[in-house]
Structure 1
Amino acid sequence: MLDIQKIQRAKKGNKKAFQELLEEEKVKLYKIAFVYMKNEEDALEVFQETTYKALRSIKNLKDERYFSTWLSRILINTAIDLLNKKKKIIPMEKEILEEKLPPYESNVEDFDLLQAVMELDEKYKTVLMLRFYKDYTVKQIAEALDCPEGTVKTNIHRGIHQLKEKLKEDCVNEY
């Protein structure tokens, strides 16, 4: 449950209040970061950068009710920025990269679903993460992404449809 007083204290510079707020949001934020970044190290980097940016700019938060939305938007923008920077780096061959990195083992029960979400286009991945991992309403997603509610509904519907097709295809291929 959202604690408006705690957010107001954080806005006034109370670092303990900010830390408590972040503690309540960290699992959801990490999941979103992992879906974007596809590896633990980059997800943690995005989470850390988001924390820093949020701490520096929390005094600019206009409406305390949207703290979670505001924080998620910072995380999404940070993830997109890091992905854009990484596009400029020449990638290694997949086999070489897999040899150098330890395999990431997720604690997420629905790993197949998470994997399928990770493979979606960014616009579908974003709305589905906010809707189903952060439990945002369509209106909250529209505000966070600064787009019409109709677009959010369309992207949720199309994202779910693509997930169904992808998961159905994976199930058929296993037998």
Structure 2
Amino acid sequence: MTPLEEIEDLLARVAMADRRAFGKLYDRTSAKLFGVCLRVLNDREEAEEVLQEVFVTVWNKADSYRVNGLSPMTWLITITRNRAVDRRRARKLPPAPIETADLVPDRRPGPEAAAMARSEQARILACLGELPRARAHLVRRAYLDGDSYADLAQATGVKLNTVRTWLRRSLISLRECLSR
């Protein structure tokens, strides 16, 4: 069983209120998800709080994950990112400076989680590399740093609807690339 199949299986068991599976899911994914929280919030305490909220959501909503050909990590990371961005916006923090566009290294995962993260990261970075450089940068800022479309429009001097179109087309390209 691959690591992603294991996470998918754990999610299915969590949907049936299996506490042991929930503990294993936490062990396998918390370091990566904490890295997402920390990247968006840049505050360890806030990131820990958001991570706790994420796992409460996973416990309550695991039955909403459907095996759809997408990575279960994508589902978990999306929940995590959205919670962290919501927290960041609630604090009304300014957008992260452009210099912080590099990925924050995840220092706590075990060997299996690190290998899985490297594999997914390599695929995503390869697909981002296929996008024009400016579009890849916008995707990073919007989906990793938590910048709003309005923030990006202001930073680039481009109309809001143009930024939305660019991001939508970039995400379609990334989805196609990741499905290959």
- In the superposition, the TM-score normalised over structure 2's length comes to 0.52
1:42 aligns with 2:25: no
1:155 pairs with one of 124, 131, 136: 136
How far the C-alpha of 1:47 sits from its partner, in A, is 0.6
The answer as to whether partners of 1:138 and 1:152 remain within 8 angstroms in 2 is: no
**C-alpha distance in structure 2 between counterparts of 1:7 and 1:84, whole Å:** 29
1:79 aligns with 2:84: yes
**C-alpha distance in structure 1 between counterparts of 2:86 and 2:9, whole Å:** 32
> In structure 2, what residue type is equivalent to 1:155?
A
Structure 1: gaps spanning 5 or more residues = 92-117, 143-148, 160-175
How far the C-alpha of 1:66 sits from its partner, in A, is 2.2
**C-alpha distance in structure 1 between counterparts of 2:72 and 2:32, whole Å:** 14
How far the C-alpha of 1:35 sits from its partner, in A, is 1.4
How far the C-alpha of 1:56 sits from its partner, in A, is 1.0
Corresponding residue for residue 56 of structure 2: 52
SS at match of 1:134: helix
Corresponding residue for residue 37 of structure 2: 33
How far the C-alpha of 1:156 sits from its partner, in A, is 6.0
1:138 pairs with one of 104, 111, 124: 124
How far the C-alpha of 1:10 sits from its partner, in A, is 1.6
1:120 aligns with 2:98: yes
**C-alpha distance in structure 2 between counterparts of 1:86 and 1:9, whole Å:** 35
TM-align CA RMSD? 3.8
SS at match of 1:87: coil
SS at match of 1:58: helix
Structure (1 or 2) with the larger CA radius of gyration: 1
**C-alpha distance in structure 1 between counterparts of 2:51 and 2:91, whole Å:** 16
Decide whether aligned partners of structure 1 residues 75 and 157 sit closer, same or farther in structure 2, where only a CA change above 3 A counts.
Answer: closer
Decide whether aligned partners of structure 1 residues 151 and 16 sit closer, same or farther in structure 2, where only a CA change above 3 A counts.
Answer: farther
Structure 2: gaps spanning 5 or more residues = 105-113, 141-180
Decide whether aligned partners of structure 1 residues 151 and 47 sit closer, same or farther in structure 2, where only a CA change above 3 A counts.
Answer: farther
Q: How many residue pairs align between the two structures?
A: 119
